[in-house]
Chain A
Amino acid sequence: MSEPRTMFEKIWNEHIVYQEPNKQAVLYIDLQLVHEVTSPQAFEGLRLSGRKVRRPELTIATPDHNVPTTDRQLPILDPISRKQVETLRSNCQEFGITLFDLDDPRQGVVHIIGPEQGLTLPGMTIVCGDSHTATHGAFGSLAFGIGTSEVEHVLATQTLLQSKPRTLELRVDGRLAPGVTAKDLILYLIGQIGTAGGTGYVIEYTGEAILALSMEERMTVCNMSIEAGARAGMIAPDAVTADYLRGRNHAPADFEAAVKRWRSLPSDAGATFDTSRVFSAADIAPQVTWGTNPGHVLPVTAKVPQPSDFEDETERRSTARALEYMGLTPGTPLQNVDIDRVFIGSCTNGRIEDLRAAAAVAKGHQVAENVNAMVVPGSSVVRDQAMQEGLHKVFEQAGFEWREAGCSMCLAMNPDKLSPGERCASTSNRNFEGRQGKDGRTHLVSPAMAAASAIRGHFVDIRDWEYSK
């Protein structure tokens, strides 16, 4: 009998092309996703060195970060954004890469469209010049973000030089309570292990609470692995995974044979991780971030902390600075914090189930006066699906703006951004200073919590929400 292995080790070993002792492994990359922001310098590097793309059919590109979420018929107004999107277009043409362009019904945020098109499959290695590539690990793939030089390396060689990371198991026992979502689960875990708790590791999420999640919820969890410092997060593939992928555009032709192969991927019984931590789903309440990194998070029932709550001097100073930036007074109940803006969308929470959850809350209500709320589907496919279900009507009747697909105000590279001092309940992944606009104040929450905050004008405990029929 061979030694029991983790899912990570199986995928890692399967993809080693070559490794000299004490050197990095040359790791084969099955799929590269490309967007307009982190790729132009990589293509330029290829041109300067006279290199080609080794396997153009293993790369897929789409514009997402810069794209306007208003009328798609109009040209992009910002000339620098427009040039970046046009550069992606010409690079894809020159190097023979498939592009889901702005007018393509498959366009969307890279981490939404990979799974949606069935490009993301269990057992694969997947990279993208984007830290939220960990999203794809939800399918039992090894997926991680890379820099632009590495994007060029993959384009030229279809491989990457990598040191083997350590493995971290985060097991969540029991079931999430009603009203507590995958977003709350991952925010809670980040709060527990810290923003650098996963540095140097690949996380495997295990346990009853994880396996009970839908495919889209699993993506939300894996998506934010980087917010705990881990380049990759993964979840074992099972029937939920197969059911999601069956019938998708790029799903394997012999699907049942593929499903059979995927059964060998999950970590073997008795496989050991470098580190394992166990949590209880019963301890998790709906979460709200209060500070300027995703580890600054508390249950919605809590109060804004004060610096002296923390033992570590660096943490105390960081808290004081964060509170000043966020304009919050220690001791204020989080539910008393008023908001100005709401953003529902992003690669974390811009999928159809997220929009359904937000619409269910919004139905029959009105967005509070003085609050501006927008819904940005993660992809054009999600947008079409939502419109077929009439969700856009629910949102519009409740006073939410209904937009085109893109990254939008998750990072505010397009015209969607906060004004200085504005406070936003956001379903995105980062509450860094200025992330959604200079001097803007971001609080990360689940889609249901974001919708409820839009209606009340302040944070609310979604567990108390009365849903309209």
Chain B
Amino acid sequence: MQVFRQHCGIVVTMDRADVDTDQIIPKQFLKRIERSGFEEFLFFDWRYDDSGASNPDFELNQPNAAGAGILIARRNFGCGSSREHAVWALENYGIRVVIAESFADIFYSNCFQNGVLPIVLPVEQIDELFRRASGSPYALTVDLEQKTVCDEEGLNLSFDIDDFRRECLLQGLDNIAQTLQQESRISQYEERNADRLARN
């Protein structure tokens, strides 16, 4: 998996709550059997109008969001469907960090599987980030080792994250390979529970 240590990127702000994964990647693009190439479909129904032209009102299409690598939104980001395609689309587009007041559980887990860092910050700090990002292109530096979010004007915020998940991202660890190191324990568990696991 992709290593994540530090990311310095332009911010795109989405002043919306409950952004669901149906919006992040609409269902018509879930028919693909690949894991890449989803960037052009990210936020498709919001990003383009019916003729396929870019919707100038949509956040990602704002001039100050060009080349964004950090997305900031309100509460319950990524709710709804479990589709990991939502994280693939963000990652394929170049978003490596999502900062929100809160995240839906499955989306949050999916981020860690793809080298995307989800950061929870309190409302007041999100408000401040929205204020700072409202004008010309605004960049943040996110440091996972230090657990900080900084800008060039002296803002320095710290965030919490599960130690194990942090370690996996820092080292780009493959969870499956790690679990397979416990293979003998899994086998023992299966032997102990053979009756229960026998499928009728």
Cβ contact of B102, chosen from A18, A199, A430, cutoff 8 A: A199
Q: Which residues of B contact A297 (CB under 8 A)?
A: none
Cβ contact of A148, chosen from B16, B26, B84, B105, cutoff 8 A: B84
Are B22 and A430 interface neighbours, CB within 8 A? yes
Are A196 and B31 interface neighbours, CB within 8 A? no
Please give the number of chain A residues whose Cβ is less than 8 angstroms from any Cβ of chain B in the complex: 74
Are B22 and A87 interface neighbours, CB within 8 A? no
Known: A30-B197, A38-B82, A87-B33. A434 touches B23 (CB 8 A): yes
Does A432 sit within 8 A of B, measured CB to CB? yes
Are A432 and B22 interface neighbours, CB within 8 A? yes
Cβ contact of A433, chosen from B22, B113, B163, cutoff 8 A: B22
Q: Which residues of A contact B85 (CB under 8 A)?
A: 148
Main secondary structure of the interface of A (DSSP, over half): loop
Q: Which residues of B contact A131 (CB under 8 A)?
A: 80-82, 106
Cβ contact of B199, chosen from A58, A158, A200, cutoff 8 A: A58
Does B17 sit within 8 A of A, measured CB to CB? yes
Q: A420 to chain B: closest CB distance in Å?
A: 8
Are A318 and B82 interface neighbours, CB within 8 A? no
Closest residue of chain A to B83 (Cβ to Cβ) is: A38
Does B39 sit within 8 A of A, measured CB to CB? no
Are A199 and B104 interface neighbours, CB within 8 A? yes
0 or 1 for each of B159-187: is its CB under 8 Å from A? (1 = yes): 00011100000000001100110100110
Q: B44 to chain A: closest CB distance in Å?
A: 9
Give 12 CB contacts A-B under 8 Å: A17-B186, A23-B164, A41-B33, A49-B176, A147-B87, A147-B106, A149-B113, A153-B175, A195-B76, A199-B104, A314-B17, A433-B45
Within 8 A of B (CB), among A378-418: 411-413
Cβ contact of B82, chosen from A44, A146, A157, cutoff 8 A: A146
Q: Which residues of B contact A81 (CB under 8 A)?
A: 31
Q: Which residues of A contact B27 (CB under 8 A)?
A: 411-413, 435
Q: Which residues of B contact A293 (CB under 8 A)?
A: 18, 20, 79
Does A251 sit within 8 A of B, measured CB to CB? yes
Q: Which residues of B approach A to under 8 Å, CB–CB?
A: 15-18, 20, 22-23, 26-28, 30-35, 45, 50, 74-76, 79-85, 87, 102-106, 109-110, 113-114, 162-164, 175-176, 179-180, 182, 185-186, 189-190, 193, 196-197, 199-200
Does A22 sit within 8 A of B, measured CB to CB? yes
Are A44 and B113 interface neighbours, CB within 8 A? no
Are B104 and A229 interface neighbours, CB within 8 A? yes
Does A217 sit within 8 A of B, measured CB to CB? no
Are A253 and B200 interface neighbours, CB within 8 A? yes
Q: Which residues of B contact A377 (CB under 8 A)?
A: none
Known: A147-B109, A412-B27. A40 touches B33 (CB 8 A): yes
In whole angstroms, what is the CA distance A231 to B105 when docked? 7
Name, among B26, B34, B105, the residue most crowded by chain A CB atoms within 10 Å (CB to CB): B105
Other than the given A55-B197, A84-B31, 18 more pairs (CB < 8 A) read: A17-B182, A18-B189, A26-B179, A38-B83, A41-B34, A44-B35, A80-B32, A146-B106, A146-B109, A147-B84, A148-B84, A150-B113, A226-B106, A250-B200, A411-B81, A430-B20, A432-B20, A434-B26
In whole angstroms, what is the CA distance A40 to B33 when docked? 5
Does A214 sit within 8 A of B, measured CB to CB? no
In whole angstroms, what is the CA distance A149 to B174 when docked? 10
Q: A81 to chain B: closest CB distance in Å?
A: 5
Q: Which residues of A contact B105 (CB under 8 A)?
A: 165, 199-200, 229-231
Closest residue of chain A to B196 (Cβ to Cβ) is: A30
Does A145 sit within 8 A of B, measured CB to CB? yes
Cβ contact of A318, chosen from B17, B106, B190, cutoff 8 A: B17
In whole angstroms, what is the CA distance A65 to B30 when docked? 10
Are A150 and B109 interface neighbours, CB within 8 A? yes
In whole angstroms, what is the CA distance A390 to B38 when docked? 45
Does A64 sit within 8 A of B, measured CB to CB? no
Q: Which residues of B contact A65 (CB under 8 A)?
A: 30
Closest residue of chain B to A127 (Cβ to Cβ) is: B82
0 or 1 for each of A135-175: is its CB under 8 Å from B? (1 = yes): 00000000001111110110011110101010000000000
Q: Which residues of B contact A55 (CB under 8 A)?
A: 190, 197
Cβ contact of B176, chosen from A51, A321, A435, cutoff 8 A: A51
Does A129 sit within 8 A of B, measured CB to CB? yes
Are B163 and A157 interface neighbours, CB within 8 A? no
Are B22 and A26 interface neighbours, CB within 8 A? no
Q: A293 to chain B: closest CB distance in Å?
A: 5
Cβ contact of B33, chosen from A17, A28, A83, A118, cutoff 8 A: A83
Q: Which residues of B contact A226 (CB under 8 A)?
A: 80, 106
Q: B9 to chain A: closest CB distance in Å?
A: 23
Q: Which residues of B contact A229 (CB under 8 A)?
A: 76, 79, 104-105
Does A57 sit within 8 A of B, measured CB to CB? yes
Q: Which residues of A contact B80 (CB under 8 A)?
A: 131, 226, 430, 432
Q: Which residues of A contact B113 (CB under 8 A)?
A: 147, 149-150
Closest 3 CB pairs of A and B: A149-B113, A40-B33, A147-B84
In whole angstroms, what is the CA distance A253 to B109 when docked? 37
